[in-house]
C-alpha cells in the first residue's frame, strides 16, 4: 500500500520576509527532493483540500480564528500575529490547506486508502495554542487532525509523537486534560518556548523528555527506546500522529541537537514498527520545523524511507 504526500502550492504563498527562517524555500526543498527520488511508485502526491472553519474550531477558539482572519494583510505587506509569527496575503489560504491536509490524511488512512501519510505543508502548527498563534504557527494542524480523527472515527486512543527540537506547547495545551490523547515530546532544553518539563504530566497523558544541547544520535536513540517506545506500546494507540520537525539535525541553525538523516530514518522505523503492532500501520506525519534546507530535505526523505520499507 502506498504512502501519500499531502501538499499544495498555496502553502508556498505564505510569505514571511526574506530573513525569516520559516520560508517557502523549506517546502520547495522537500518537494524537489521527494520528486527526484526513485521510490518505485510507492508515493502518491495528493493536493491538500481547503480546511474548514469547523475543523479549525475543533481545537481553536472562535476569537482566535477571527483574529487571524482579520489580521491578514489585503496588500503585499507583512503583518505579525506575535513577534515571531509573520503573515502575508497568502497566509490564510496556506493555513487552510495545512489544516485540510491533516484532516484528509486522517480520512484516507482511516478508510484504508493509504497505510501512512506525510503532510508537507506550511505554516507549521505545534506552537499554536487554542487561543493564540505563536512560534511561526497559526493553527495547530496536528491537534486538529487528532480531534478530527477522534470525532469522525470514534477513536478512543490517539498518540502524538513530537520530535521537533522545540516543545509543542500548543499541542500540549490542547490535550492536557484529555486522557484519550497521549502526547510525547522530545525537545532541547532550555530552549524556546520554555515549556515541556517532565513534571508537566497533564492527566497522566503527557510525557515530556527535555534534552541537553549537544545530544547526539546514540544518546537520543537510547532515550527514545527507553521512554517513547514503551509508552506507546502500553497505550496501544488506534492511530499515531507525528509532529515531524527536522530541526534537531546537527546542521540546523536554530538549535543544538546533533541528529543525522540516519537518526530520522531510525525514528521512522520505530514509529512504523509500533504502528504495525498496534494500529495496522496507521501513521500520519505533519511537517513542523527544520531550517537548514539540505538537512531538511535529506532528513524528510530518510524519514519516509522507513514507511516505504526502503533501506539505504
Q: Which domain holds residue 244?
A: 3-308
Quickly count helices (H) and strands (E) in the chain. Answer: 10, 10
Could you list the active site residues?
127
Mean pLDDT value across the chain = 97
**Which pLDDT score, from 0 to 100, does residue 1 have?**
87
DSSP 212: -
Rounded Cα distance, 283 and 240, in Å: 5
Residue 111: CB partners within 8 Å, gap ≥ 6?
none
Q: Are 116 and 109 in contact (CB under 8 A)?
A: yes
The CA-based angle 239-240-245, given to 5 degrees, is 155
Q: Using one digit for the tens of pLDDT, what is the confidence trace for 141-182?
A: 999 999 999 999 999 999 999 999 999 999 999 999 999 999
Summarised one tens digit per residue, pLDDT across range 132-145 is: 999 999 999 999 99
By CB atoms closer than 10 A (0-12, 13-18, 19+), residue 13 is middle
pLDDT digits (tens, 9 = 90+) for 19-59: 999 999 999 999 999 999 988 789 999 999 999 999 999 99
Residue 194 binned pLDDT confidence (cut-offs 50, 70, 90): very high
Q: Which three cell numbers stand for residue 196?
A: 515541556
Residue 295 makes CB contacts below 8 A (sequence gap 6+) with 246, 249, 250, 251, 252, 261
* Number of structural domains in the chain: 1
Distance CA 43, CA 239 (A): 20
User: Tell me: the pLDDT tens digits for 208-237?
Assistant: 999 999 999 999 999 999 999 999 999 999
CATH classification of the domain holding 283: 3.40.800.20
Query: What pLDDT is attached to residue 311?
Result: 77
CA nearest to 282, candidates 42, 150, 116, 161: 116
Half-sphere exposure of 227 (CA within 13 A, CB side): 20
pLDDT of 239-271, one tens digit each? 999 999 999 999 999 999 999 999 999 999 999
Task: Calculate mean pLDDT across residues 105-133.
Answer: 98
pLDDT for the residue 312: 65
What integer is the mean pLDDT of 192-215?
98
Amino acid at each position: 500500500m502506498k504512502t501519500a504526500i499531502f501538499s499544495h502550492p498555496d502553502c508556498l504563498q505564505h510569505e514571511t520576509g526574506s530573513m525569516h527562517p520559516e520560508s517557502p524555500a523549506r517546502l520547495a526543498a522537500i518537494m524537489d527532493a521527494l520528486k527526484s527520488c526513485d521510490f518505485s511508485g510507492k508515493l502518491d502526491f495528493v493536493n491538500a483540500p481547503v480546511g474548514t472553519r469547523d475543523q479549525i474550531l475543533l481545537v481553536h477558539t472562535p476569537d482566535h480564528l477571527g483574529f487571524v482572519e482579520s489580521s491578514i494583510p489585503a496588500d503585499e505587506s507583512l503583518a505579525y500575529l506575535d513577534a515571531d509569527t509573520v503573515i502575508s496575503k497568502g497566509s490564510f489560504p496556506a493555513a487552510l490547506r495545512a489544516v485540510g491536509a491533516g484532516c484528509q490524511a486522517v480520512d484516507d488512512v482511516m478508510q484504508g486508502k493509504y497505510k501512512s501519510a506525510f503532510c508537507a505543508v506550511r505554516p507549521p502548527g505545534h506552537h499554536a495554542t487554542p487561543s493564540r498563534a505563536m512560534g511561526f504557527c497559526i493553527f495547530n494542524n496536528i491537534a486538529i487532525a487528532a480531534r478530527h480523527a477522534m470525532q469522525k472515527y470514534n477513536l478512543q486512543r490517539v498518540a502524538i509523537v513530537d520530535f521537533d527540537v522545540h516543545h509543542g506547547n500548543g499541542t500540549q495545551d490542547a490535550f492536557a486534560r484529555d486522557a484519550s490523547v497521549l502526547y510525547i515530546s522530545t525537545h532541547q532544553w532550555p530552549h524556546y518556548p520554555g515549556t515541556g518539563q517532565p513534571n508537566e504530566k497533564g492527566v497522566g497523558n503527557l510525557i515530556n523528555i527535555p534534552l541537553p544541547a549537544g545530544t547526539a544520535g546514540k544518546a537520543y536513540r537510547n532515550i527514545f527506546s527507553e521512554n517513547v517506545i514503551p509508552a506507546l506500546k502500553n497505550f496501544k494507540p488506534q492511530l499515531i500522529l507525528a509532529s515531524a520537525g527536522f530541526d534537531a539535525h546537527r546542521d540546523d541553525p536554530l538549535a543544538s541537537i546533533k541528529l543525522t538523516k540516519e537518526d530520522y530514518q531510525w525514528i521512522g522505523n520505530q514509529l512504523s514498527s509500533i504502528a504495525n503492532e498496534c494500529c495496522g500501520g496507521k501513521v500520519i506525519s505533519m511537517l513542523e520545523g527544520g531550517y537548514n534546507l539540505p538537512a531538511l530535505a535529506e532528513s524528510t526523505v530518510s524519514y519516509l524511507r522507513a514507511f516505504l520499507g526502503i533501506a539505504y
